[in-house]
Copies of this chain bind each other. A is one copy, B any other.
Amino acid sequence: MKYPKRIKTLQKTLHRKKLDAILISQPENRRYLCGYRGGDHGIGETSGVLLVPVEGSIHLLTDFRFELQAKKEAPTAKVHLYPKGLLNLLKKILPQLGIEKLGFESHYTLHSFAHLLTTQLKKKGIRCIPSENLVERMRLIKDEEEIAVIRESVLLNEQVFGDIYKDINSFSTEIDVALAIEMAMRRAGAEDKSFDSIVASGGNGALPHAVPTQTKIKKDKPLTIDMGLVLNGYCSDMTRNFVPRKPSKKYIKLHRLVRKAQLAGIAAIKAGARCCDVDRAARSIIADGGYGPQFGHSLGHGVGLAVHEGPRLSSANKLKLKAGMIVTVEPGIYLPGWGGIRLENMVVVRDNGCEVLNQDKTWLDI
């Protein structure tokens, strides 16, 4: 079973770092380690934390509202409730477990809570040690089982996109399209969207993170659709850009430039390539085309249990890619007033190149 294996890997790291245990507060990390799917209502309202000791079995600490769910989804964990709050429960069970040095996820713990945790546990003789990305590092490389689920997630997302695209002229506003997408995802069996869908017509497409509005879809203007879903916990993320009626010459020129940059990025991806070099391979195409300043974000990001995770394909990231990493490749050009073009596919890094997970070819090679 995968969870005990992952716990064992983490326990080896704890051993190396001389930690007696670690508190896992990050929701995707919790799910990765024990299967518990409880979602936080923002970081301030946790649905539980996982306590992983350096050896022995794991403990899922949660509250009354999530008791049944926790027991059902995380059979490998012992479930404890904290009717008087997490801190009080920790003060009770940490000494029982002989834990004197406790790691916590510094990158997913509020400063105010870390302060309370550290000062309160100190009184019990327990030291709190900020740790960063121990589980995220494990999640960077996907095994073949995870890759298979992500492939399914990508293909289901494409299927939903295809159905919407076919009917695109039947929709009136951006919000109509976004709602239809999200409804279709859930009907198709997705457990959720992986992020709020972007549907941006004309000038709205100049905002890379546009929020769908009541704007009518302009049939002769560029339309950006950026959408993703969650299937069995794993995310997909895809952007397509097209013109519902006839594209202008300018659109075609820019679209081809973005696609050329995307293909250059994809061609640069293989185990051993540095993220910054992949970013540059795509970025230089757009810069040579005269639109460097109009491509203001990085080329891509990892995707897995979270829709945005490592590694980041950015000009600053010197990390070398490894086989089994999954990243998006999504160059774009944004022109205020006119609109934007972004094309995004997902790929798996392989030893000698990469495998594009997307099958959909809509408006890629025009």
Interface of A with B (CB < 8 Å)? 39, 41-45, 47, 64-66, 68-69, 83, 104, 106-115, 130, 132, 175, 179, 182-183, 186-187, 195-196, 206-209, 211, 296-297, 308, 336
Q: Knowing A69-B207, A115-B130, A207-B69 touch, does A45 contact B107 (C-beta < 8 A)?
A: no
Q: A44-B107, A183-B179 are in contact. Are A65 and B297 (CB under 8 A)?
A: yes
| A223 vs B308: C-alpha distance when bound (angstroms) | 36
Q: How far is the CA of A132 from the CA of B211 in the complex (A)?
A: 30
A206 contacts B68, C-beta separation under 8 Å? yes
- B111 near A65 with CB under 8 A, answer no
Specify which chain B residues have a CB less than 8 angstroms from the CB of A44 in the assembled complex: 107-108
A43→B43 contact, CB < 8 A: yes
Residue of B nearest to A210 (CB): B69
- A293 and chain B: residue at smallest CB distance: B64
A104 nearest CB neighbor, chain B only:
B111
In this complex, what residue of B is CB-closest to A85? B316
**CB-CB under 8 A for A115 and B106, given A68-B207, A69-B207:** yes
Contact B41 A42 (CB under 8 A): no
**Measured between C-beta atoms, what is the minimum distance from A46 to chain B in Å?**
12
Contact of A132 among B83, B112, B175 (CB under 8 A): B112
Closest to A131 in B: B112
Q: Decide if A41 touches B336 in the complex (CB within 8 Å).
A: no
12 contacts between A and B (CB under 8 A): A47-B209, A64-B296, A65-B207, A68-B207, A69-B207, A106-B110, A106-B112, A109-B110, A110-B111, A111-B111, A112-B132, A175-B186
The 7 closest A-B pairs by CB, nearest first: A64-B296, A111-B114, A106-B112, A65-B208, A107-B112, A106-B111, A65-B209
Chain B residue at smallest Cβ distance from A108: B110
Q: Which residue of chain B is the closest to A111 with respect to CB atoms? A: B114
User: What residues of chain B lie closer than 8 Å to A130, measured between beta carbons?
Assistant: 111-112, 115
